[in-house]
Amino acid sequence: MKIRLFLSAFAFVIASSSCTKDIDFDLNEEQERIVVDALITNVKQKHLIRITKTTTFFKTYVDAPAAENANVVVSDGTNTYLCIEETPGHYYTAELAFEADKNYSLTIDYEGTTYTANDYMNSTIEIDTIRTTESEEFSFQSGQEELLASVIMEAQESPGLGDHYLWKLQVKKPDTAYKDLSPTYRDWTFSSDEFVDGRSPVDGWPIFERIPTSEIVSGSTVRVQMFGISKGYYDFLDGLGKQVFRGGLFDGPPANISSNFDNGALGYFVAASERIAFTTKE
Amino acid sequence: MIGASVFFKELKTGGVANIYGFYSVSAEPGLYTVEFSFIGSQSITKQIDLTTSQTLNIELSPSAASLNMVEVVGEAQNKNVEEVQMSTIDMKMETIKKIPALMGEVDVIRAIQLLPGVQSGGEGSTGFFVRGGGLDQNLILLDEAPVYNASHLFGIFSVFNQDAIKNAELYKGGIPARYGGRLSSVLDVRMKEGNSKKTKVSGGIGLISSRLTIEGPIVKDKISYVISGRRTYGDLFLKLLPSDNPASDAELFFYDLNGKVNWRINNKNRVFISAYTGRDVLGAGDLFKLGWGNQTVSARWNHIFSDRLFSNFTGIYSNFNYNLGVPSGPNEFVWTSKILNYSFKNDYTFYANTNNTVKFGIQSTYHTFKPAIIEPGLINDAFNKIEFFNRYAWENGIYVSNEQKIGGRFTLQYGLRLSSFSNVGRDTVYTYDEEYNNTGFDAYESGDVYNTFANLEPRLAAKFTIDDVSSVKASYNRMTQYLHLATNSTGGAPLDVWMPSSTNTAPGIADQIALGYFRNLNKNMFETSVEVYYKVLQNQIDFADNANILLNKQLEGVIRQGGGESFGAEFYVKKQTGKLTGWVSYTLSRATRMVEGINDGNTYLANYHRPHSVSIVATYALNKKLDLSATWVHNTGTRLTAPTGRFNYGGELIPVYSDRNASKMPDYHRADVGLNWKISDDDKRWKNSLNFSIYNVYARQNAFAINFVNNEVNLPTARMTYLFSIIPSITWNFEF
């Protein structure tokens, strides 16, 4: 939004008119905590539960250290699914599809502590079609108009507020493997149904915008994953943005993002219905 | 004359003229020797035969003593020991002018921050925090009109122009029943009345601003006026830059304009109209423009019904607004926000007898809140006009209090204020469930009074005189506040959003008890006091973790309310006479908050919690023409929430934070020095003086903010932002 952009510019003017200095600051480095990145869906596959550990703040960051030899179990209340550690910190379920409209729990036993999280797998809407478009847009990098691509989704949103969505994008150019265009949080798109509730927008939903046209060349296969996520996870994603894009004059006080785990574990256990749609760029 | 005193020698009793220049003494009929005196004036003693009703107008002529001496006499009273009012400090502009000033800009609020129990918002901030209360809990009054944002230039200076202000009185506790609407303090700033004898011009030229004041009689001894202006001129220098330099069309200035007219109609009726307008403008050509300011108007009719019953009828208008945006081009837009109110007050003082002074009155205020309207320019189609709902409220107060002398030593002041606050339509109020999820909205028609709060606010104060030079005092006050300031900053940023209490947000309540011991030493040369206080706050607002604060139509949904607690001890020693004058203050305090949903519901320190705070202010008169001054302040650093570790999620490095405000910035300390040089003799009509100030003499780099960022080699680091190093300044002042 242009107003936010303006405010950032304004904050920059203020910041640049003062002086800065790097200082020694004693942080109360706290005990290591575990960080969970877990996603189970209704698509038949081996679902990944990745467990890492926090690191001290003032340290060159290499890779998150894995939390190994944990006991990891998914449960829907009746059935339990044991996860196997295939590589350090990466725990997989057997190949299976979880059912939507059920509550799931994830229990992790690690170094004598048990961590538990719950998430409800909402069923989600169908994707009618996806398509790509191209248009001239102002590029902040080059300062000029540039041809940029968008991915548009056509779908009928279900009536009643409270639905939340997360999209990820992969593209396979002719004669290459799929490339993940959503490798990190800042390349994901998520939204609530606040502005589209119960509607099918006339021009579709622009779910990915401002993609360099070199990423989606003629003949490319575009693959979109859509996840129907819980409000809890939506709030978590929204909170992540506050951390990732922090530094403005208008930030609230810093605060940890609420996890759905107990006992101080970080991250989120996500149970989401997944839809996958494809299109080919002509 | 405020503070002029009258003394009946036979009765050993007397009175001091109140803030309207009136006084009252009850005496049996008889012959009395009465002494009239005032700071800087020769005392007059008269024999008065009190058998018939009579009116005596005493004119006090200025004494031959120098201005410097005048002040000494003025402060030599043992007012602090004698008065029942505790936790209050009256700052005269003359005192404030001697304190070394940042960039030569003498500032009332910066002087207030040097007092015990008052914490500054940080480097370069005129925001202040009184006894653990928040930034928005200070009722700042300019001739009775509330000032919502008393800051210029993001809080570096305050809106009070030194030439237009006569004095400022700060109440930190035991707040009298006539004041209401804020929880923690009242800063009552009074404008000059204007010279009713002869026309005078005064002003000053400083490094960043110039000032000019003209005052004088319209009708001699009847009608006087004062008009005073100040403008900074940083932008005029920018204009000198070559026109291809982008800074050459930058705008950066503020101005203040104060005016007041006093009309003494007759002995029973007086009227004044006082007005203020001020604005900050910050812009860079077509890129952006930001402006903010306050306007206030107050008109008061002062009427004496009888020798014992005094009254004031006051009409007040106040408005704070800001606008920002892109002034032209394809991205043109303007964002405006405003809070304004109209208020009417009627106050009475009834001198029942020698031992009882009753005050009572009413106040009614109509508030209008216009949180935000954002309008794109004609050729900007990036977004539609965004308009937040206006909100309206009606605030009322009625109070009565009595100051009662019991025997020679004991004085009690007891009062009660009944306040109410009603939300008025047209309004659209979002509704929320217990988990703050929006459940829809309620719409109200124009004029609908859809929600009302009412609160009783008892006020109590007591003084026991131990002897001529010492007393103990105690007080209790309950205050209610119906307006909340939604801000994430501690400094008084201009993008403030004031919001009313409503069905979603309860009014804040504060209960404070204070106890103090007051003792003057060496014939009132030294004034000393120790005060302790304990304050409990209810319904304090904070934001939910990671809330969207900016442009959030459902701001009430991210507000969390909880309690707060603060306590402390304040030590104050002031030397009032002699070549060396000034004060030392030390405050030991603690301020905490507990808000459900924040910091896991655990108690946390307020970010302006500063356990130790020391100020030393000293002025030394080298001779009749030269005054040296120095200040030194030392505060425990501002609290902050710092990362304690980090983790990887979604390919991003996310900090793990400590508990809310669990860390602190480095301690703040700074010394300033100043020199006042009176170039001309005091008896000349044309007077001029030079003021030299050095702010931050030893160039301490005090933290304004600390951010945790990655440095050039991508290593996480703590980066401190600081605003000022050493700043020398020179100001030339004149008067004729």
pLDDT, residue B39, reads 61
Confidence category of residue B341, pLDDT binned at 50, 70, 90: very high
Q: Tell me which H or E stretch contains B80.
A: helix B79-82
User: Which residues on B lie below 8 Å from A16 (Cβ)?
Assistant: none
Contact B495 A250 (CB under 8 A): yes
The pLDDT tens digits for B481-526 are 999 987 765 444 556 788 999 999 999 999 999 999 999 998 889 9
- 3-state secondary structure string across B113-148: CCCCCEEECCCCCCCEEECCCCHHHEEEEECCEECC
Chain B, 632 to 691: residues with Cβ < 8 Å from chain A are 641-658, 660, 662-663, 666
Within 10 A of B446 (CB to CB), how many other CB atoms are there?
9
Q: State the residue for tokens 């709902």.
A: B389
The SS3 assignment for B199 reads: coil
How many angstroms away from the CA of B714 is the closest CA of chain A?
8
Mean pLDDT of B687-704: 90
Whole-number Å distance between alpha carbons of B699 and B684: 39
- 3-state secondary structure string across chain A: CHHHHHHHHHHHHHHHCCEEEEECCCCCCCCCCEEEEEEEECCCEEEEEEEEECECCCCCCCCCCECCCCEEEEECCCCEEEEEEEECCEEEEEEECCCCCEEEEEEEEECCEEEEEEEEECCCCCCCEEEEEEEEEECCCCCCEEEEEEEEEECCCCCCCCCEEEEEEEEECCCCCEEECCCCHHHCEEEECCCCCCCCCCCCEEEEEEEEHHHCCCCCEEEEEEEEECHHHHHHHHHHHHHHCCCCCCCCCCCCCCCCECCCCEEEEEEEEEEEEEEECC
pTM above 0.90, yes or no: no
Least CB–CB distance from A18: residue in B333, B598, B722: B722
Give the residue from B384, B598, B654, B714 with the most A CB atoms within 10 Å of its CB, the best one to mutate: B654
The pLDDT tens digits for B179-236 are 999 999 999 999 998 888 999 999 999 888 899 999 999 999 899 999 999 998 877 6
Whole-number Å distance between alpha carbons of B339 and B319: 6
Query: B247 CB near a chain A CB, below 8 Å?
Result: no
The listed range with the strongest mean pLDDT (A258-262, B357-361, B706-710, B723-727) is B357-361
pLDDT, residue A136, reads 85
Contact A239 B721 (CB under 8 A): no
- Is the Cβ–Cβ distance between B147 and B296 less than 8 Å? yes
Amino acid at A161: L
Closest CA to B143 of B191, B194, B73, B109: B191
Structure tokens at A154: 């056509």
Percent of chain B with pLDDT over 90: 51
Contact A185 B652 (CB under 8 A): yes
Whole-number Å distance between alpha carbons of B191 and B501: 31
Within 10 A of A117 (CB to CB), how many other CB atoms are there?
22
Query: A245 CB near a chain B CB, below 8 Å?
Result: no
Q: State the residue for tokens 């004609």.
A: B378
Give the residue from A2, A3, A48, A168 with the most B CB atoms within 10 Å of its CB, the best one to mutate: A3
Beta bridge partners, B629, equal: B619, B674
In chain A, the domains with their CATH numbers are 34-121 (2.60.40), 129-246+274-280 (no CATH)
How many angstroms away from the CA of B98 is the closest CA of chain A?
28
User: Which residues on A lie below 8 Å from B598 (Cβ)?
Assistant: 255
Q: Which residue has the higher pLDDT, B22 or B479?
A: B479
Contact B647 A23 (CB under 8 A): no
Contact A57 B284 (CB under 8 A): no
pLDDT, residue B64, reads 45
Q: State the residue for tokens 């109440």.
A: B171
Whole-number Å distance between alpha carbons of A145 and A135: 10
How many angstroms away from the CA of B646 is the closest CA of chain A?
5
pLDDT, residue B493, reads 55
Concatenated DSSP letters of B229-243? EEEE-HHHHHTTS-T
Query: B704 CB near a chain A CB, below 8 Å?
Result: yes
Beta bridge partners, A190, equal: A166
Whole-number Å distance between alpha carbons of B545 and B454: 31
Q: Does position B9 have pLDDT exceeding 80, yes or no? A: no
End-to-end Cα distance, chain A: 31
Structure tokens at A104: 């799931």
Contact B546 A32 (CB under 8 A): no
Chain A, 169 to 188: residues with Cβ < 8 Å from chain B are 183-186, 188
**Tell me, what's the ipTM?**
0.89
pLDDT, residue B527, reads 93
Q: Are strands A34-41 and A266-280 parallel, antiparallel or unpaired?
A: parallel
For residue B426, cis peptide bond before it (omega within 30 degrees of 0): yes
How many angstroms away from the CA of B645 is the closest CA of chain A?
4
Whole-number Å distance between alpha carbons of A128 and A279: 11
User: Which residues on B lie below 8 Å from A8 (Cβ)?
Assistant: none
User: Which residues on B lie below 8 Å from A51 (Cβ)?
Assistant: none
Q: Which residue has the higher pLDDT, B492 or A177?
A: A177
Whole-number Å distance between alpha carbons of A258 and A267: 8
User: Which residues on B lie below 8 Å from A23 (Cβ)?
Assistant: 666, 703, 706, 718-720
Least CB–CB distance from B645: residue in A57, A267, A268: A57
How many angstroms away from the CA of B546 is the closest CA of chain A?
5
- Is the Cβ–Cβ distance between B114 and B126 less than 8 Å? no
Query: A267 CB near a chain B CB, below 8 Å?
Result: yes
Structure tokens at B238: 């920018």
User: Which residues on A lie below 8 Å from B647 (Cβ)?
Assistant: 33, 35, 52-55, 64, 266-267
Q: Does position A12 have pLDDT exceeding 60, yes or no? A: no
Percent of chain A with pLDDT over 90: 61
Q: Is A241 exposed, middle or buried (0-12, 13-18, 19+ CB in 10 A)?
A: middle
Give the residue from B379, B386, B546 with the most A CB atoms within 10 Å of its CB, the best one to mutate: B546
Concatenated DSSP letters of B314-346? EEEEEEEEEEEEE-SSTT-EEEEEEEEEEEEEE
Torsion of CA A77, A82, A85, A91, to 10 degrees: -30
The pLDDT tens digits for B461-477 are 999 999 989 999 999 99
Closest CA to A48 of A86, A77, A100, A104: A86
Q: Does position A24 have pLDDT exceeding 70, yes or no? A: yes
User: Which residues on B lie below 8 Å from A1 (Cβ)?
Assistant: 383
Query: A249 CB near a chain B CB, below 8 Å?
Result: yes
Amino acid at B183: L
- Is the Cβ–Cβ distance between B543 and B549 less than 8 Å? yes
| Mean pLDDT, all residues of chain B | 86
Least CB–CB distance from A255: residue in B374, B546, B717: B546
Whole-number Å distance between alpha carbons of A117 and A121: 13
Amino acid at B536: V
The pLDDT tens digits for B60-98 are 665 544 333 333 344 446 788 889 999 998 888 888 888
Contact B715 A60 (CB under 8 A): yes
- Is the Cβ–Cβ distance between B583 and B571 less than 8 Å? no
The pLDDT tens digits for A200-254 are 888 888 899 889 899 999 999 999 999 999 999 999 998 888 877 765 555 667 8
The SS3 assignment for B216 reads: strand
| B557 DSSP 8-state letter | G
Which residues, in sequence order, are CB contacts of A87 under 8 Å at separation 6+?
Answer: none
Q: Is A54 exposed, middle or buried (0-12, 13-18, 19+ CB in 10 A)?
A: buried
| B164 DSSP 8-state letter | T
Q: Is B86 exposed, middle or buried (0-12, 13-18, 19+ CB in 10 A)?
A: buried
The pLDDT tens digits for B268-304 are 999 999 999 999 888 877 777 888 899 999 999 999 9
- Is the Cβ–Cβ distance between B544 and B561 less than 8 Å? no
Cβ pairs bridging A and B (under 8 Å): 184
pLDDT, residue B155, reads 74
Mean pLDDT of B727-733: 90
Query: What distances in angstroms separate CA B239 from CA B206, B315, B324, B442, one per listed residue?
Result: 19, 42, 22, 52
Percent of chain A with pLDDT over 70: 88
The pLDDT tens digits for B407-454 are 889 999 999 999 999 999 898 899 998 888 888 889 999 989 999 999
Whole-number Å distance between alpha carbons of B653 and B656: 10
Closest CA to B115 of B184, B187, B170: B170
Mean pLDDT of B133-152: 91
CB burial of A4-14 (b: ≥16 within 10 Å; e: otherwise) equals eebbeebeeee
Among chain A residues, the shortest Cα distance to B381 is held by: A2
Chain A, 38 to 77: residues with Cβ < 8 Å from chain B are 52-61, 63-64
Whole-number Å distance between alpha carbons of B9 and B264: 30
Chain B, 119 to 138: residues with Cβ < 8 Å from chain A are none
In Å, how far from its chain's centre is CA B41? 29
Closest CA to B606 of B616, B614, B594: B594
- Is the Cβ–Cβ distance between B585 and B555 less than 8 Å? no
Closest CA to B542 of B562, B514, B564: B562
Q: State the residue for tokens 């005493």.
A: B58
The pLDDT tens digits for A59-82 are 766 678 999 999 999 999 999 999
pLDDT, residue B70, reads 36
Whole-number Å distance between alpha carbons of B474 and B463: 7
User: Which residues on A lie below 8 Å from B335 (Cβ)?
Assistant: 3
Q: Does position B355 have pLDDT exceeding 60, yes or no? A: yes
The pLDDT tens digits for B566-591 are 999 999 999 988 999 999 999 999 99
Q: What does residue B422 show for φ and ψ, rounded to 5 degrees? A: -120, 130
pLDDT, residue A205, reads 87
